[in-house]
Amino acid sequence: LDYRLTFAMHQGKAETNAGTEVKNAANMIDGELGYKLPDMMNFRVYVLYHTDTGSKGGTKDETYNGFFYNKHDNSSLMDIIDWGNLTYINAGITLSPMENTNVGLHYWMFTRTEKGTGSPDVRSSFMTKDGTSPWAKGANIDEDDIGSEMSLVADHNYDGNFNIMARVS
């Protein structure tokens, strides 16, 4: 049995270009619980829950900013959805069919923590056919369901820190 729990927060005051003071108070928590069977090709099953705060408007900014945290390893593999007003559940299975080779199937369900805001942002690398982000101009901000992702991943580690990975998401 393995587990982890992470909590982070930031708070303070900032001044906008217009001279208005904005209070910052945001946090995130995520926890993972897994179970591994070392005698069965290191088969592991896990579930992860993450939630971070989002702003309700006004002079208080409660949208969590992960700064330089490695979001790729911690919130889906396609790197489309950013943190800040994001809640998700991630479940998956992994195994090692041979030495230095890992295979995994992962599933994420994304929702907004606070409805009615444009966050979480969709990264600029993901655009609609007309060249805009699906969340540009606040599209669908009253919906809390953002979407889901399923990924099949395989990687092999070679000597000298060389790694090859294949992924379908």
Q: What is the pLDDT of residues 5-50, one digit of tens each?
A: 999 998 998 887 888 888 888 999 999 999 999 999 999 999 999 9
The two structure tokens encoding residue 40:
């069965």
The two structure tokens encoding residue 107:
């599933």
- Is residue 56 predicted with pLDDT exceeding 90? no
- Predicted confidence at residue 72, as pLDDT, reads 65
Q: What is the pLDDT of residues 65-106, one digit of tens each?
A: 777 666 666 667 776 777 788 899 999 999 999 999 999 999
- Count of CB atoms within 10 A of residue 125's CB? 9
- Predicted confidence at residue 163, as pLDDT, reads 95
- Is residue 51 predicted with pLDDT exceeding 80? yes
For residues 135-142, give the mean pLDDT: 51
For residues 140-150, give the mean pLDDT: 76
Q: Which of 17-26, 35-44, 53-62, 130-139 bottoms out in mean pLDDT, i.e. has the lowest?
A: 130-139
10 near 28, Cβ under 8 Å?
no
- Predicted confidence at residue 147, as pLDDT, reads 83
Whole-number Å distance between alpha carbons of 1 and 31: 14
- Is residue 138 predicted with pLDDT exceeding 50? no
